[in-house]
Structure 1
Amino acid sequence: MSLLFVLYFSLVYLSLFLCFPESINRQNFVSRETFHDLEVHRNQSRPEHFHPPLWRPDITRIQPSNIKIPQVDSFASTIWNHNSEGGHSLSKRSKPWNKLLEGADTEIQADEENRERRRG
């Protein structure tokens, strides 16, 4: 059954091609002169600073210094920095994150002021 459909449509297409060869060619193909004219017109209407898109990205502009990676462990680093500066150790605190969440900024600031008083 499918073979009959294929034969039927191929015969229809062949008969159309034989009866109207120019109309089929005009619809499907563009002459070289027309294509050249279109290309010239497209290039003339293009601004001077236009650059065609690249097939691959310009990897010279992507450098490690340009990439900003958010600090995922900022919470842990604030505890670690506070402790590494001579403040309280983690073992002396039962839950240091509670103090950070409840306003440890003032505690850290007070510790820094105490250190400055001791030094100066």
Structure 2
Amino acid sequence: MPIMMNLTTAEHGGTQPSCGTGDHSSCGPNCSCGCPYTGMHERGLVEPIALVEPRYPNEWLAFVIPPGEDEYHPEHGMLVVHSPDDNEVWDAVSRITFNQVVHVYFNGCLEAYLELNHL
């Protein structure tokens, strides 16, 4: 299983033990519950995406995107899962708490993607 972080507890970037439990319907970029939106930077889990990509060539990457980043073209994020198998990445992404902005993409060229998928 490619999950790198426990995605439903404070271990995934939150700062409060209750993060990921109970009713977090108001979670978001400006909340104060201790969820990843407010804890990623504090815990040092945000990296420049350009520095992460060389570590995982030709793999699917999923980042939780911090507040203030362009969610369609982020420059920084918290890597939560990577794998050459897109199904594994999407399975892991489905476990991420609902209140997070997630950016998923294939980190490689079209030829590598076609080769991995035997197309």
Q: TM-score, normalization: structure 1?
A: 0.21
Higher helix share: 1
Larger Rg: 1
